[in-house]
């Protein structure tokens, strides 16, 4: 990766658009271009899992950069985050959506026969399901692992990058820390959490 991950999440998140996450398994290989991300900091971000400090669950978020932080959402779906920043300070970028480049048949087998192409990796849970990412991949070094790796993709024109509020979080929901490719059909729909608090400012 030519993109430095040792920076704040909100700086790294837009730069991950267009990057490729590849997972090679005995079943086959799936590669997905990232089209949507969300940045989450640590102690300064009330929506971050690390807001209240380090726990066994969030330890990976505290570094080093380039590792994968995987968590269970609502007890249903796995979600994948690229750890950013410097060691000791929690920071990570949630991968919200992507476009399947390789292994579409395997991704569809994991997601369901009737799922349309743009929806195979739309949404963080679907992204992980299409790639075959689970709790066992928590802590994986994406920059050196042979089977699960983050690499450069095709450059993304700056004119296509958009920023907006984060999806489905109840705190700091108005922060403009969601980044996505304008007009891309794989990008998930924006939804405001019914538990959202009054605006906090970024």
Entry pTM: 0.92
Give the rounded percent of residues in the chain with a pLDDT score beyond 70.
96
Q: Residue 170: its pLDDT value, please?
A: 79
Q: Do residues 66 and 150 touch, judged by C-beta distance below 8 A?
A: yes
Give every CB contact of residue 91 below 8 A, 6+ residues apart in sequence: 8, 9, 40, 41, 42, 61, 65, 83, 84, 85
User: How far from 195 is each of 16, 167, 172, CA to CA, in Å?
Assistant: 29, 12, 11
108 or 172: which leads in pLDDT = 108
Is domain 9-181 classified as CATH 3.10.300.10?
yes
Give the rounded percent of residues in the chain with a pLDDT score beyond 90.
71
Residue 84 reports pLDDT greater than 80: yes
């Amino acid at each position: 990766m030519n993109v430095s991950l040792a920076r704040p999440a909100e700086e790294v998140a837009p730069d991950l658009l267009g990057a490729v996450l590849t997972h090679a398994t005995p079943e086959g290989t799936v590669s997905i271009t990232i089209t949507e991300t969300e940045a989450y900091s640590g102690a300064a971000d009330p929506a971050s899992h690390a807001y209240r400090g380090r726990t066994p669950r969030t330890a990976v978020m505290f570094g080093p950069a380039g590792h994968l932080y995987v968590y269970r959402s609502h007890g249903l779906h796995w979600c994948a985050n690229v750890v950013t920043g410097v060691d000791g300070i929690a920071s990570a970028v949630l991968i919200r959506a992507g476009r399947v480049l390789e292994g579409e048949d395997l991704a569809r087998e994991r997601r369901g026969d009737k799922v349309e192409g743009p929806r195979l990796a739309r949404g963080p849970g679907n992204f992980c399901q299409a790639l075959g990412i689970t709790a066992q991949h928590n802590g994986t070094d994406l920059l050196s692992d042979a089977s699960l790796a983050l690499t450069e993709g095709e450059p993304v024109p700056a004119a296509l990058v958009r920023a907006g509020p984060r999806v489905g979080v109840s705190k700091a929901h108005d922060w403009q820390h969601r980044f996505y490719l304008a007009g891309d059909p794989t990008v998930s729909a924006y939804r405001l959490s019914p538990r959202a608090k009054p605006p906090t400012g970024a």
